Structure 1
Amino acid sequence: MQIERLIQMIFYLIHHGHVTAKELADYFDVSTRTVYRDINTLTLAGIPILSSKGTGGGISLVEGYTLDKSLLSKEEQQHIYHGLQTLQATKYPNTEMALSKIGAIFRSALEPKWLEIDLTYWGSEEKEKIKISELQYAIINKQVITFDYFNTYLQKSKRVIEPLRLVFKSHAWYIAGYCRDREEIRFFRMSRIRNLEVISETFLRELPQEESLITHCEETEVDIPFLKLRFSPEIAYKLYDNFHESQVTLCEDGSYLVSVQYELNDWTFHYLLSFGKHVEILEPEMAREMMKERVKEIQKLYEK
């Protein structure tokens, strides 16, 4: 397959330095025309390859990538790996397998430096920031973490956790892990965590397949009500982007009923307000009254 040949070609250049197109053609049992086509593909993908014709010409990686033929720097490994990810977007066959192979070789270099997820509020102190990279390291290396945790009533407790997985559920990040205080698997909302620390102690535990976020969530211990919502036909195109098909029912008048479980908090009402006049809360009555109060507060801003 071409993607496999492209990867082999990169490593051939790493180990052999300056080579000719004929040498590559003989090695891979293809025509020189195919070699030049492959080199062009790699160049477009961002792999730093030089190609020159005539006496003394040939094909090589740019200077600096061949100085050490046995070990690439992290930056060089990332450059090659990200180039191959670009090839993946062109839908070459067996790309996933090839990237998996090269990813195993370059494992230490493939840190997500292009991505930063800051889960703290604006203006918070640097020490309060929870970095995904720290948790990724703790989960992969099975190292225990400690942190202060605030429950729904702002009561603080010290937790010692064996972190097993990061979970993004609905609109929030959670850490799934074995809580040594509760002696069971729990899910902790990351926005409620402070002073997180990865310690040197390791563990062997794995996350059971059947564990559910809803079953053991530390975010709240209050009942979460089901909301019955009516959406107008004009907003129908958004419903399946936001709700599961089992939650949506088409009515005879063309409107849609949605039954969904949400907390009655600011996030829920702000989210529903984003649908404007196209959504109405039918049940429970408490939720209707809470929405009315918010609408009145908004209306006051425009009565001045």
Structure 2
Amino acid sequence: MQINRLFEIIYLLLNKKFMTANELAEHFEVSVRTIYRDIDTLSLAGIPIYALQGKGGGISLLEHYVLDKSVLSEREQNEILYALQSMTVTQVPEADKVLAKLSSLFNKSRTNWIEVDFSPWGSDDKGYSQFTQIKDAILSHRIIEFNYFGSSGEKTARRVEPMKLIFKTNAWYLQAFCQTRNELRMFKIVRMADVQKTEETFTPMIPEPLPGGGQLQETQKWIELCFNISADGAYRVYDEFEEKEITKNTDGSFTIMTTLPESDWLIRYILSFGSEAEVKSPQHIRDMLQLELSKIAMRYKI
């Protein structure tokens, strides 16, 4: 996001000639200290920007300065535009605005090389507003408060230091330090309600990589799973598993050897294949599936 803000600062100063650090900080919803770091970055990059201290002071560019596109190669111009366009798929309005300005500056038409639908974000204004609040809280280091619905349906009030948004397995998650539980946690965004960005700030920590190559809960147990999927289920095999985990059998079926989290989700996931999947091992997962199927049979009085 910093390159987005740096270009925006230049354009603001080109248009307004003169702005205070407080005005820029308020515009970008960052600290004054962050703005001064940005000014230092631009100065080191050769942009003739300067700050005047005291009453009537502020930040400005040298008079008659024009952003010279000739300092960037054709490839560099394209990389900047492509990078900004990849940001617009997450519906960050600032990125789209800067993209339009730079496209005009570079005399280039916008190449729509990427499009992603991150539903339910684009499904209604409420979802988009929540996404924006969380994004802004991460960038401005603001504590957020919300109600969270656990896997059992229990609702609890949470107060967290948001660190990073993560998109994995068709769902958005928030990695955050939960002050309520006093530990690092992962929150599924669709289970968050009444999100409020507070005025309280926090000192950000470096987000830790997800354990287990993508594990979303630190206490989650992972197991080796072997199951068969019939030829009729082939349409899901290469969508959901890596090639190294798949063995195609002579009858057209597939044997899958993979590692998955042991949880109620796993049982529901396997059942989503219907009669097209059969678990071979471990035995206790087969037993859990049989128990769940018997409950389903009783519900439908089979």
The normalised TM-score by structure 1 is 0.49
The normalised TM-score by structure 2 is 0.50
